[in-house]
Amino acid sequence: MNVKLKNIAITDDVVFGEGVTVVQPVNLYGCTIGNNSFVGPFVEIQRHVLIGSHCKIQSHTFICELVTIGNDCFIGHGVMFINDLFSEGRPAGGDQAKWKPTKIGNGVSIGSNATILPVTICDNVVIGAGSVVTRDIKDSGVYAGNPAKKIRDIK
């Protein structure tokens, strides 16, 4: 395994592809990170997360359980993924049966400080900085706002 670790902090049961770079401090556990991907500092990636190859996860990002990220994706600084919709008016806590999955397609770029609720995002999508994605995205394009809406096609 060829993994470039720059003072990696907390890891347990992580599967690294070839050529992965991780910059400290991070909190990684029970996740899979694909070939030639980069994880910046102050990132948490939880169990049962799959990150594809050639992805870049910028600093201060939180990727909760049940998130799948495709290949060739960019996740900006401070992006938050959510798996608990507080469906009963409070956190589900450890009741994983109440958590929902998120699937991010290939070639997706998510701008800094975006919030991604449990959704599916198709391939070749750009999410603007600060956007809140509350519904599935089924058409490629650029999306922005709260809630995120399509603002234009990708040229």
Domain count, the chain: 1
pLDDT tens-place string over residues 58-72: 999 999 999 999 999
Coil, strand or helix at 18: coil
Its domain, for residue 119, covers 3-152
**What is the predicted pLDDT for the residue at 1?**
55
Per residue in 20-61, pLDDT (tens digit) is 999 989 999 999 999 999 999 999 999 999 999 999 999 999
- Taking only the tens place, the pLDDT of each residue in 79-128 is 999 998 888 888 887 778 888 999 999 999 999 999 999 999 999 999 99
Q: Which amino acid is at 71?
A: N
pLDDT for res 89: 85
Q: How far is CA 120 from CA 21, 40, 94, 135, 138, in A?
A: 27, 24, 23, 8, 8
104 near 87, Cβ under 8 Å?
Answer: no
E-strand stretches of 8-147: 10-12, 15-16, 20-23, 26-29, 32-33, 38-39, 43-45, 50-51, 56-57, 62-63, 67-69, 74-75, 80-81, 102-104, 109-110, 115-116, 120-121, 125-127, 132-133, 141-145
Q: Quote the pTM value.
A: 0.91
**What CATH number did the domain enclosing 37 receive?**
2.160.10.10
**pLDDT of 147 strictly over 80:** yes
